Amino acid sequence: MITTDYYQNEYGLGEDEQQTALRVGQIIDSISAEKPNLELLNRLFGLLDLTSLNTNDNTNTARRLCRQLNEFPDRFPGIAQVAAVCVYPTLVEEINKTLTNKAVKLACVGAGFPSSQTFLSVKLAECELLMKKGAEEIDVVISVGELMAGNIEQVMNELLLIREVTQSVTLKVILETGLLNSPSMIRLASLVAMEAGANFIKTSTGKTAVSATPEAAYTMACAIRDFYHRTERKVGIKVAGGVSDIQSALIYHAVVEDVLGGDWLNPKLFRIGTSRLANHLLGAIKGSTVSFF
């Protein structure tokens, strides 16, 4: 039986709430007050998972988004491509057909997003269908309620089965950190997801009152570091939910760099899920207001 004691014995206790807040405060204080340079702004733009997860999304919005991404290299030469575009399952086929800019990965939410409150068979079937439709990355939500109830083994087994049917794609596991009430719970969720084979662990869906926070990202990054030291497997981190301005992005970049180092500062290991941030970054890079996305 898998218990919290197992994870503590294997990976250590991690930092408590006070230690986490103190260290995050120090990281934020260390960020330069000067305007970020173009290299850093460009790097941040290349970390984006351009996200459209609206109830009223439709085929027309998908086509418009693809048109923008297809035109991007010619409109903004020399600027990094976004890492991926992330949409709902019903739009994957249209995106796959219309997106000709293959530098951008096709990501999709799945497995009962955003609550994960559906049958396991449905979650698995949805993931399998998404791959058939062309998804290259799938973002799934951990069964938060079961984790909080202490049913760690059930959560692990579910994620293992999801990983089994998604071997050919990048799997991002959303922890919904805003619902987890302590760094220890966030650390536990992180370790369970990584042991189940997640390629990325992700803060949140953006559908809850509290989404990404620097403290949650710090705790996740520490878990990734400790997991890497124990297993030599690098797992990525994705922050999502409320990351809408450049200063917030700089904070998360600083947290990841402080805990995990420069090896993680690339799209293979670090993503920022957002839509609103893209135009702000483009504007800062170009030196003028941009309304492209």
Catalytic residue of the set 49, 105, 133, 139: 139
Residue 292 lies in a domain: no
At 46-89, the pLDDT tens digits run: 999 999 999 999 999 999 999 999 999 999 999 999 999 999 99
291 located within any domain: no
Taking the C-alpha atoms of residue 231 and residue 167, their distance in angstroms, rounded to an integer, is 19
**Pairwise CA distance, residues 112 & 100, whole Å:** 28
- Quick check: is 139 catalytic? yes
Q: Does residue 200 fall inside a structural domain? A: yes
Give the mean pLDDT of 130-138: 97
Residue whose C-alpha is closest to residue 228's, from 262, 196, 268, 260: 260
In a domain, 168, yes or no: yes
pLDDT band of residue 274 (cuts 50, 70, 90) is very high
Look at residue 134 and tell me whether its pLDDT is greater than 90.
Answer: yes
The residue range of the domain holding 156 is 4-286
Note the pLDDT of residue 149: 96
The pLDDT of 251-272, averaged and rounded, is: 98
Express as a percent the part of the chain with pLDDT over 70: 100
With cut-offs at 50, 70 and 90, classify the pLDDT of residue 34.
confident
For residue 278, tell me if it sits in a domain: yes
Half-sphere exposure of 153 (CA within 13 A, CB side): 5
Q: Does 26 reside within a domain?
A: yes
Residue 271 · residue 49 · CB < 8 Å: yes
Indicate whether 293 belongs to any domain.
Answer: no
CATH code where residue 164 lies = 3.20.20.70
**pLDDT for res 2:** 85
Judge whether residue 32 has pLDDT over 90.
no
Beta-bridge partners for 84: 49, 105
DSSP H helical ranges for 76-205 = 92-98, 120-133, 144-148, 152-165, 183-195
Please, which residues bridge with residue 50 across strands? 85, 274
Task: Give me the numbers of helices (H) and strands (E) for the chain, helices first please.
Answer: 12, 8
Residue 3 has pLDDT above 90, yes or no: no
The predicted structure's pLDDT at residue 72? 97
For residue 104, the one-letter residue type is V
For residue range 181-204, list pLDDT tens digits in order.
899 999 999 999 999 999 999 999
Please state, in angstroms and rounded to a whole number, the distance separating the CA atoms of residues 131 and 252: 30
Answer for the pair 116, 137: CB distance below 8 angstroms, yes or no: no
Q: Roughly how many angstroms between the first and final C-alpha of the chain, as a whole number?
A: 48
Please tell me the distance from the alpha carbon of residue 286 to that of residue 271, in angstroms, as a whole number. Answer: 22
pTM of the model: 0.96
Marked catalytic residue, from 202, 226, 245, 286:
202
Q: Answer whether 170's CB lies under 8 Å from 135's CB.
A: no
Please, which residues have CB within 8 angstroms of residue 158's CB and are 6 or more apart in sequence? Answer: 120, 123, 143
Section 236-252 average pLDDT: 97
Domain assignment of residue 60, yes or no:
yes
74 is catalytic: no
Give the span between the Cα atoms of 35 and 284, in whole angstroms. Answer: 9
The domain total for the chain is 1
Q: Which of 105, 123, 172, 238 is catalytic?
A: 238
Cα–Cα dist 69/251, whole Å: 26
Tell me, what's the pLDDT at 1? 78
Assess whether pLDDT exceeds 90 at residue 98.
Answer: yes
